[in-house]
Each structure stands twice: as structure tokens, then as C-alpha cells.
Structure 1
């Protein structure tokens, strides 16, 4: 009876250590507003996908190429594979570990150390042992430490998957924005080309009046200078085109010729679609960064549980079955050896090592919770701002279109009055210059409205991969 009592007394400190309290890290759900301040009225047919240039063949080709070959997306996918491998390893730790080995050992001793028996030759000077073993060990994980580690590893797969989705959405948004900028350059170029044609036509009219002696040659020179200004503005667009091609090469991992060929395909005119209505609560499910932060929070919670369970005793079973002989011919002849061991171990006096691990895991969980709250409010701010920018960009585009039409009408009236001798050529040039600028400004305003929708698409969480 004395031995069980002594064993129980020896294990009592382990049990008391296991019952020590674990830090309580509160993680209340962030409070969300019921609706966005700038949210639009729900419209029939308003779809999230319509915010992207889905009908543009360049976007279709280059986005698919990027999804296949983009280095940053491949890196994110590799991180998912790494997380999966970690989860498999954590799951395997809960199962028995079985290994096999074989060895040949040769020993040389001094028989004299065995006294008379050694001096008389009863103890061999050299001896060779041949052995083969199969060993097995199993941590029973009675208190769930290994299970908690596996749960943390599985949560990190979700985090890596969400992060990869975030990389995918950011990649598609960047490609869409670059292609939209390219289409804006096309629209600006068309407006500038029309301005140049109108300026050349005005120069021809001024020359005809100069030849007829009813207008000074200065009018023709000013009109030709206006036409040259349009040509200069048109040439300046090529630098912006080169920057966009370089950006798309980086994003898609395609060569410049392939990118330029895709951009050369005709595309529909910029016509921003209606913005879909959404709720703040939708962001918790749709935003990849929020999902990644939530998964990381779950992982740190499991890490804290695993750290706390390090206070509990570990119960291990191990066994060895093997063969041992001193002659190879006897290896399979009555040479079987076996060992079976059951052990229990736990912290008795670790000078705060386990407690420090628990405190570190609790701090990591607090940090993860703060990061999760930050991701939620970042998503709310992004969506709120994106809705507001869409509203402002739409108002700007509508005013720009109205101004363009009015200034074009004013330029036509000024030219008609000039032909009738009721207005000076300077009036015509001023009206023409204002009309020329308004066409390019309208194209840029429509581009900003389209770009604002791409930002809104990303802010609302985009669309999941197929």
C-alpha cells in the first residue's frame, strides 16, 4: 500500500498545476451599423459583377492570364499548401509513431575487469551483436493538447485561403483599373482628335477669309496653333500608355506584346453600372481580410488552449519488439526481445516556463482580436468611402456631360456668328478651346466613375473564386 500512496503524493503537484487558471481573453463581436450612410437605393438588376469591366475582352484575356501565371497569386496558393501540410502534421502527431531500425554493434573489452572468470577465458574479448527493432510510441493526449494544436493548424488553413482570395481580388481590381485607365486614354484620344479636326477646320475657314481679304492672317495662325496644341496633347498620352503596359506586364506575367495586343481589341464605351446596395453585416462574410483575421483569431484561441494544457501531465505508451543475437545465423532463432513502457510526466518545478507560454499565447490572442476588429472597421470604412466616391463621381460625370454638350453648342453658335460677321475670331477660339477641354474632361470623369466602381467591388469583398 505504501507505493500507491507515494505515487499519488508525487503526482499531486502535477494535478494542482493542471488546475491553475488560464487567462480569460474576452472577444466580443464588434458593433456594426445597420446601414451605410452613403448606400444607394436598391435597384433591380444591380449586380456586384457589373461593377467590373466584364464586357471588355482585354479584361477577360488578361485577368485569366494573371490567374494562371501571376507570381504573387502563386505565392499565396503555396502558403495554402504549406498550411495544409502543417495541419496534416498536427493531425499525425495524435497518432502512434512507428519506426524501424537495424544495427550491428562490435564491442572489445578487457576481460581482466571480470576477475578470475575473465582471466580464465570465460568472458570473450570481442563480441558482435546483431539487432533489428520495431518501435512504437503514442502520446494518448488525454487532456487535448495535441487536439488543440491540430485545431489551430486547421484554422490557419482558413486564414491562408482567405488571404489568397484577398490577393486574387486585389490582382483583379488592379488589372481592371489599369484597363479602365487605358480605355479612358482611348476616349481622351478620340476627344483630342476631334478637337484637332475642329481646329484644322477653323484654320481652313480663317485662311479662306484671309485669302478673301476680310480677316487678318493672325486669325489663321492662332487657329493653326490650336490644332498644334491638340497634336501635342495627343502625343503626351503615349507616356501614360507605356506606364499602363508596364503595370499590366507586372500584374499578369505576360510580355508587353501580348498585353498591347489584348488592349488593342475594341471594347464597349465606358458606361458605369448602378451600384448594388449592401449591408455592413455582409462584409463579415464577404471580405477576405475579415475572414482571414477571424480565422487567425480562432487559431490563436486554439494555441492558448494548447499552451494551457501544457500544465497537465502527459501520458505516453511506448513499446519495442525486436531481434537480438550474437551470431547472424541465430538472428531468427529464439532471439526475440520486447519492451513495453507506460509513462506519465508533467511540470513540477519549471520556474514559470509554462506560465510564460500561456501568457504569450494570451497576448497573441489579444493581438489577433485587435487585428480582427481593425479588419472589420477597415472594411466598414472602405465600403463607406467607396459608396460615397461612387455617388460623387456619378454627379461629377453627369455635370461633365452636361457641360460638354453646352460648350459644344456654344462653340457651334460662335462659329456660325463668326461666319456671319457677328463675332470676332477670338470669341470663336475661346469657345472652341473650352469645348475641346470639356470633351477630354468628360472622358476622364467617366473613367473616375468606372474606377470608383472597381474600388467598391473590392471594398464589398468582390466575388468568390469559381
Structure 2
């Protein structure tokens, strides 16, 4: 009988390498890219190149303080810390699933000293000593690949979490740059607005004098009062915006409100944007964007989980073995004190197929959801990039147009100033021309600020900014 048992055990051990090569469930194949075009549909005719993109795009702005802020944000931002912790969780899950491929081992030992009653003791020694030790091993044979599919799924989720870190870096670098540029633009606007208040106050004072002299009406004065109060009403909201940009930048780099106020006190000039921007091509975009990579890896994980659940349709084989030594005298580890046991046993919940089928159906539905999410992410990435290209191109033309308006207002103001110095124009005419110039300059600064923000949005849409 023992010989038959031994033969059966050895036969199963010999078949294990063959049996464990089976893996149920669908094999994963990455979905084909829907991109057919070799260039973006909304690519402007000038100012863009299909050359490879630069990841650290903010360095092209030549703003050392911005570079410093982004470096700090990449190290200390709370959101990046959160996704890094999630990556560690995913890696721990992967390690746990990989450990399931190997036997679990345990060891135990005991030393007993006992005195037996004379009526029970049969040996010469009383009290007696007993020493035992044992080594136990158990192994669930991955006969149909359920464990391998679990490892495949957890490895894909690890890679998805790595992509999520990159996606967080893209978002954080863009947010730091956007708030930095909005801060600079708002301070330029504030300076122009304060100058407008001064000019309008001077115009109001002169008009009040003229009213007393009978050369201006009450309506002229009230019109200027309304203009002045309207301009003054814009100061407080703009200062509140500046404070908000400062606090947001502090948050993004992991600091508390007010900590960056001194460091950023002189940020009041928008940087010069590069004349040409490298945007690569749509195919490269999808390979580069971390959110697309994350969605694809999640699809791979959900595909593997189908096989993980399908393995429950089939029986499980476990091998349990024990090697032990026991003695009351002499050396414990001698051969005559050894005992061993090997038990292969099979477990099959063949009446539980309804539950397994439900789990498989659920996994297949989750896989279909992941594929739909991947396609949505791909299409959204293409939409985002093309819309950003269009906005940046049109806003750049808007800046050119408003620059011409500002230049014309500057020229007109210079002519009125010359006439005023020559006595051919009044002070009120000169101040009115300066007010018109300041309004044109405010519109130009607004457009330039929006252009820099659109530049940041373009870089983010291209999936740039991760390390």
C-alpha cells in the first residue's frame, strides 16, 4: 500500500512542471491606437514644429525662480506623496501574490520534562525528557494559472500606479507654472490699474476746476467720478487674486500660506515665450501621456483578473509535507528518530459554479469598462492637445493685434504730449490720451497673461513635465 502511495506521489511531482504550465483566461493584447493622422488637426501653420518635445518645458521660459518652485513641488507636493504611497501599496500587493507561487515553510520545536506516576511509568527513567522538532511545508500548486494571472494583474497595476505618479507630476508642474504666471500678470495689471487711478483722479480734479469756472458741466464731473470709482473697484479683487496665487503656490510646494510671500515679492514681469514650440505628433503623444499609459495598464490588469477568476472553475491541488524528529534520549537529529509525511490532496468546489460564473462575468464587465475608459482617455488626450493648439495659436494672434492697438495708443499719446508741451493741447487732452493708452496696455497685458497660461495648458496637454 505504501509503495502505491509513493508511486502516486512521485507521479504527481513529475507532472507538476507540465500541469503548472497551463494558464486559463484570455491573454492580453494591447489595443490598437486609433490615430491615423501624422499631424494634429488643429496645428497652426507657423510657430510649431513636429520635433521631439522637451520634458522640462518650463526651463524654456528662463525663469530661475519658477524652476526652483517646480523642483520643490516635485519633491514636496502632497498629491505626489499620495500617489507614491499608492505605488508602494501596489508593489506590496505584487510581492504578496508572487509569494503565493512558493511553498510556505514553518518550524517548531519542544522540550518536555515530565514526572509520571509510578503506576504509569514503565521505563527506568522517571522523570523523563522528550525532545521534538518538525519542519512543515505546504504548497498550493498553480495548476491552472490563477496565481500567475493574479501576479500579472498586480504587476500591471504597479505599472499603472507608476504612470499615475507621472500624471501627477504633469499636473503639478503645470499648476505651479500657471499660478506663477498669473501672479506676474496680476501684478503688472495692478501697477497699470494704480496708474489709471492716478490719471483719472487728475482728470476729475481738472474737470471740477473747469466746472467752477463754468467751462464744464455737472454731467462731465459725474462721468469722470463714475470712471474713477469703477477703476478703483477693480483694485481689491485683483489684490485678492494675487494673495490667492501666492497661497496656491505655497500649497503646491508643500508650504503654508505666507511662507513664499517674501520670496515672490518681485515677481511682476511675464517671461518671454519661445518663438517655436515642439509638439511632436499624435502617435507620440499617446505614448507619452501618462494618463493614457495608466488606462492601458489598468485594462491589462482587468484582462488578467478574468483568468484569475476562471481558475476557480477547476480543482486545486495542495501538497503538504512534514519532516520531524523526536527522541527521549540521545541525539535528536539521528536517522532513527526521523519521521516524515507527504500528503497531496485535491479540493474542488464543483457545486459552486454559479458563484464562479458571476465572478467571471463581473471581471469581464470590468475589463470592458476598462477598455471603454482607455478609449475615452485616448480620445480626450487627442481633443485636449488639438484644442490647446488651437487656443494658443488664436491667442497668439490676439496678442499681436492688441500689441498694435497699444502701439497706436502709445503713438497717439506721444503726439498729444508734444502738442501739450507746445501749448496746442490742454492738460485734460493729454491726461485723456494717457488714460486711453493705459486701457490699451491693460488689454495687452491681459492677453499676454492668457497666452502664457495657454502655453502651460498646451505643455500639459502634450503630456510633458514628468520625470
Fold shared per TM-score above 0.5: yes
Q: Is the 8 A contact 1:39 1:387 kept in 2?
A: yes
Paired residue for 1:237? 238
Match of 1:32 among 18, 31, 35: 35
- 1:8-58: per-residue Cα shift (whole Å, max 9, x none)? xxxxxxxxxxx9996899975252240322113444989544466742233
Match of 2:299 among 277, 297, 302: 297
Structure 1 counterpart SS, 2:455: helix
1:458 equivalent in alignment to 2:460: yes
Match of 2:95 among 81, 85, 88: 88
Looking at structure 2, the residues matched to 32 and 457 of structure 1 have their Cα atoms a distance apart, in angstroms, of 20
Structure 1 counterpart SS, 2:262: helix
Q: Is the 8 A contact 2:57 2:464 kept in 1?
A: no
Looking at structure 2, the residues matched to 252 and 90 of structure 1 have their Cα atoms a distance apart, in angstroms, of 36
1:78 equivalent in alignment to 2:85: yes
Deviation at 1:410, TM superposition (A): 2.5
Looking at structure 2, the residues matched to 150 and 85 of structure 1 have their Cα atoms a distance apart, in angstroms, of 11
Looking at structure 2, the residues matched to 236 and 324 of structure 1 have their Cα atoms a distance apart, in angstroms, of 85
Paired residue for 2:384? 382
The 5-angstrom pairing of residues 52-451 of structure 1 reads 54-102=61-109, 131-195=132-196, 233-234=234-235, 236-265=237-266, 269-273=270-274, 274-324=276-326, 334-417=336-419, 428=430, 430-451=432-453
Deviation at 1:453, TM superposition (A): 0.9
Structure 1 counterpart SS, 2:351: coil
More off after superposition, 331-340 vs 310-319: 331-340
Relative to structure 1, is the Cα distance of residues 258 and 153 closer, same or farther in structure 2, using a 3 angstrom cutoff? same
Deviation at 1:389, TM superposition (A): 0.9
Q: Is the 8 A contact 1:56 1:267 kept in 2?
A: no
Deviation at 1:443, TM superposition (A): 0.9
Deviation at 1:432, TM superposition (A): 3.4
Q: Is the 8 A contact 2:49 2:280 kept in 1?
A: no
Looking at structure 1, the residues matched to 202 and 427 of structure 2 have their Cα atoms a distance apart, in angstroms, of 13
Deviation at 1:199, TM superposition (A): 5.4
Question: Considering only aligned residues, what root-mean-square deviation do their CA atoms show, in Å?
Answer: 4.2
Deviation at 1:353, TM superposition (A): 2.5
Deviation at 1:136, TM superposition (A): 1.0
Relative to structure 1, is the Cα distance of residues 452 and 345 closer, same or farther in structure 2, using a 3 angstrom cutoff? same
Deviation at 1:292, TM superposition (A): 0.3
How many residues end up aligned between the 2 structures?
A: 440
Q: Is the 8 A contact 2:320 2:342 kept in 1?
A: yes
Looking at structure 1, the residues matched to 346 and 364 of structure 2 have their Cα atoms a distance apart, in angstroms, of 27
Relative to structure 1, is the Cα distance of residues 272 and 361 closer, same or farther in structure 2, using a 3 angstrom cutoff? same
Deviation at 1:421, TM superposition (A): 6.7
Structure 2 counterpart SS, 1:264: coil
Looking at structure 2, the residues matched to 148 and 369 of structure 1 have their Cα atoms a distance apart, in angstroms, of 18
Deviation at 1:62, TM superposition (A): 1.9
Q: Is the 8 A contact 1:210 1:217 kept in 2?
A: yes
Deviation at 1:289, TM superposition (A): 0.6
Which 5+ residue runs of structure 1 have no aligned equivalent? Answer: 8-18, 108-119
Structure 2 counterpart SS, 1:281: helix
Deviation at 1:373, TM superposition (A): 0.6
Structure 2 counterpart SS, 1:39: coil
More off after superposition, 387-396 vs 188-197: 188-197
Structure 1 counterpart SS, 2:34: coil
Looking at structure 2, the residues matched to 204 and 353 of structure 1 have their Cα atoms a distance apart, in angstroms, of 86
The 5-angstrom pairing of residues 14-33 of structure 1 reads 28-33=31-36
Q: Is the 8 A contact 2:196 2:438 kept in 1?
A: yes
Q: Is the 8 A contact 2:40 2:386 kept in 1?
A: yes
Deviation at 1:74, TM superposition (A): 0.8
Deviation at 1:207, TM superposition (A): 10
Looking at structure 2, the residues matched to 20 and 295 of structure 1 have their Cα atoms a distance apart, in angstroms, of 20
- 1:321-350: per-residue Cα shift (whole Å, max 9, x none)? 12345x588966754321112233334322
Q: Normalized against structure 1, the TM-score is what? A: 0.79
Looking at structure 2, the residues matched to 246 and 353 of structure 1 have their Cα atoms a distance apart, in angstroms, of 53
Deviation at 1:81, TM superposition (A): 1.1
Relative to structure 1, is the Cα distance of residues 217 and 272 closer, same or farther in structure 2, using a 3 angstrom cutoff? same
- 1:256-315: per-residue Cα shift (whole Å, max 9, x none)? 343112312457643222332332212221111100001111111111122223333333
Looking at structure 2, the residues matched to 104 and 359 of structure 1 have their Cα atoms a distance apart, in angstroms, of 54
Q: Is the 8 A contact 1:132 1:322 kept in 2?
A: yes
Relative to structure 1, is the Cα distance of residues 303 and 246 closer, same or farther in structure 2, using a 3 angstrom cutoff? same
Looking at structure 2, the residues matched to 123 and 371 of structure 1 have their Cα atoms a distance apart, in angstroms, of 77
Looking at structure 1, the residues matched to 57 and 353 of structure 2 have their Cα atoms a distance apart, in angstroms, of 62
Relative to structure 1, is the Cα distance of residues 145 and 223 closer, same or farther in structure 2, using a 3 angstrom cutoff? closer
Q: Is the 8 A contact 2:179 2:248 kept in 1?
A: yes
